[in-house]
Amino acid sequence: MHINSSIKTGLLLVSFLASTLLTPAVCHAQRASNPDFPHQESSGYSDYPEYGGDESTNVYDYLDQEGESGYEDSENYYGEPNYESADTGGYDDEYDEAADVSEAVEPAPPPARQMLKPGDPINIAEKTIRVGRIPYLSVKQLMAQAVPLLRSLQKRTGAKEVRLVSSSSYSDIISALARGKIDFAWVGPTAYLKHRDKENLMAVAKAKFGDETAYRGVFIAPAKGKVQGLEDLSGNIIGFVDPESASGYIYPNYLLKTLKIRLSKKTRVAFLKNHDNVLLAVLKGRIDAGACLEKTVSASKIKDLDKRIIVLAKTEEIPSDVIVCRQDCALNLREKFQEALTGIKPGELPGSPLTFLAATDDEFAPVEAVMRYLKLLP
């Protein structure tokens, strides 16, 4: 989906989203017919406080197209996944020797980057800072995470406002940043590296959850399904998150290739837009196996989940998500925002262990090696 030239703003209550942005049939499918998820389709973030009324207004924008809600992904999942033949994902090509990402890999040096000059200083006190977030969770869950962070950032930067912007696809967020519709984007390392040079992006900070500065993806399948190992994937239906998702597609793809597991052209691939959708699809039997964030499974509160699904394999560790901006972002804004992020203390954000560290491109060398092996980078 391409982004319309305008960002649709408005007051969006978290409790209002489901009834306005999803069709009644989809809402019913999510809530009434899913006894496993009576509160929300959360798989690890229900401990975050929920915000409603004045607590969550004036902090959320949604990238829209011609007035559409952008939630066709929910209908697509709860109806029928949008399948693609596995050969479109490049699974059947020849395998090279796998890149060794267990050590610090020194990739072939790319052409020297031509950095843009930072923008002129701005008056931050009059600035509404818009932060894009890849849609790896539902809007409700993104909001639950974001509200305390946005408040902290507004206070620390002294900005007029700090708003969360989301969309239905990873690429839309990057496109919005490239076109100046948002000021910063919180994305996975693979999405950043894929678009870094073309869109003149640079790293500002990286996320840290408690002591964790990395995460993994996992392949999962129904415990009593026909897929009991990675070797059973071929010819079946596999669900992924998004073509630019590190843990929900790229690293699982890399794992299959390093293990020389080939998927036949009869294999069907469905991109289900977020990690929870993959878990739900596996549980509901809509797909035979799926790849998603490990924490989506390990932190889930779904009853008897460990008896209902099996973990087929885990990926290599993936460096934490990164906050990025355009190289021509106003220098004082970039520096102030980085200072605000890295100044957040452990325990400062209610219900969240989230903090941030300064980030440099050198930290993503192992990710570059993986992406070059998959021919996602030159």
Q: b/e map of 236-265 (b: 16 or more CB within 10 Å)?
A: bbbbbbbbbbbbbbbbbbbbbbbeebbbee
Q: Among 127, 61, 179, which Cα is nearest to 330's? A: 127
- Do residue 271 and residue 300 come from a single domain? yes
Domain that holds residue 226: 80-99+214-318
- Do residue 222 and residue 194 come from a single domain? no
Cα(130)–Cα(291) distance, integer angstroms:
30
| Model confidence band, residue 112 (pLDDT cutoffs 50, 70, 90) | low
pLDDT in tens, 139-184: 777 777 788 999 999 999 999 999 999 887 888 999 999 999 999 9
Residue with more model confidence, 87 or 352: 352
CB 156 within 8 A of CB 355: no
- Do residue 65 and residue 124 come from a single domain? yes
**Final residue of a domain: which of 318, 337, 359?**
318
Assess if residue 266 is contained within a domain: yes
Q: Which range (16-20, 147-151, 240-244) has the least confidence?
A: 16-20
AA identity, residue 331:
L
Assess if residue 264 is contained within a domain: yes
Assess if residue 45 is contained within a domain: yes
- Do residue 194 and residue 138 come from a single domain? yes
CATH number at residue 361: 3.40.190.10
pLDDT confidence of residue 378: 84
Average pLDDT, the chain: 76
Assess if residue 143 is contained within a domain: yes
pLDDT at 4 over 60: no
Cα(372)–Cα(97) distance, integer angstroms:
12
Q: Which range (67-71, 77-81, 82-86, 174-178) has the least confidence?
A: 67-71
Assess if residue 364 is contained within a domain: yes
Helices (H), ranges, the chain = 14-21, 24-31, 72-78, 139-157, 170-178, 189-195, 251-258, 275-283, 294-298, 305-308, 331-342, 365-373
CB 216 within 8 A of CB 361: no
Looking at residues 353-357, what average pLDDT do you find? Answer: 95
Assess if residue 176 is contained within a domain: yes
* Strands (E) located in the chain: 60-62, 83-85, 128-133, 161-166, 184-187, 201-209, 214-215, 217-222, 237-240, 268-271, 289-293, 309-314, 318-319, 322-326, 354-358
- Do residue 51 and residue 183 come from a single domain? yes
pLDDT confidence of residue 356: 97
Cα(117)–Cα(19) distance, integer angstroms:
45
For the chain, what is the domain count?
A: 2
